[in-house]
Amino acid sequence: MKTTSILTAVTLTALLSGCGLYSFQNSHYGKLPTNTTTTANQPQELRPVTTQSYQLADSHWSDVQKIRNEATRLSGEVGSGTITKVQAAQYLNRFRLNLVGNNPVDDHIYEVYLRSAVSSQSGQISTAQSKQLIQTALEAWQQSWPTMSNKPANPAFTNFLLQTMGMSPLQ
């Protein structure tokens, strides 16, 4: 267990490194509406508002673990000098796309993650700054998630990072 914690810390240090964070509120995802349904026979002001039920994909948590395992493997390669932080971020993205595909949440978090790696590798910001930028992006999604319509069924990359940083996952 201690080895897992050390590897997770090394993974985060090696793969998450600072960047300029773009504002989630001004992103191309726009304002996130909520799902509602109404009863046709009731006046609009009296119609009950209900949200659609949401469920993560059956494979979600095993996919999160697969991404964690790949990140740990890539971290070892960064540590040995075989690949750079930026290459590791790009390889991890290819892995997640092959595993779970695109979704707006993971795509946005990956953009922040990659810019973080680029800025860190070039020495523009520290690892602590990198983690803070990633955390801020993750917090924005945590805040938007409850009212988001069309939630992706498998935000595995985002939940991997949330767990790695000790934050509550999207559910």
pLDDT 10s digits, 60-78: 999 999 999 999 999 999 9
pLDDT tens readout for residues 11-64: 554 454 333 333 333 333 333 333 333 334 434 444 444 456 889 999 999 999
- The answer to the question of residue 170 being in a domain is no
Q: Which domain holds residue 144?
A: 2-164
- State the total domains in the chain: 1
Please state, in angstroms and rounded to a whole number, the distance separating the CA atoms of residues 99 and 19: 26
**Under 8 Å between Cβ of 132 and 107:** no
Interval 133-151: pLDDT, tens: 999 999 999 999 999 999 9
This model's pTM is above 0.85: no
Q: Which residues, at least 6 apart from 113, have a Cβ–Cβ distance to it below 8 Å?
A: 15, 16, 89, 93, 134, 161
Domain contains 105: yes
Whether residue 169 lies inside any domain: the answer is no
Whether 120 is in a domain gets the answer: yes
The pLDDT, as a whole number, for residue 15 is: 52
| 106-142 tens-digit pLDDT | 999 999 999 999 999 999 999 999 999 999 999 999 9
- Asked if residue 103 belongs to a domain, the reply is yes
In a domain? residue 25: yes
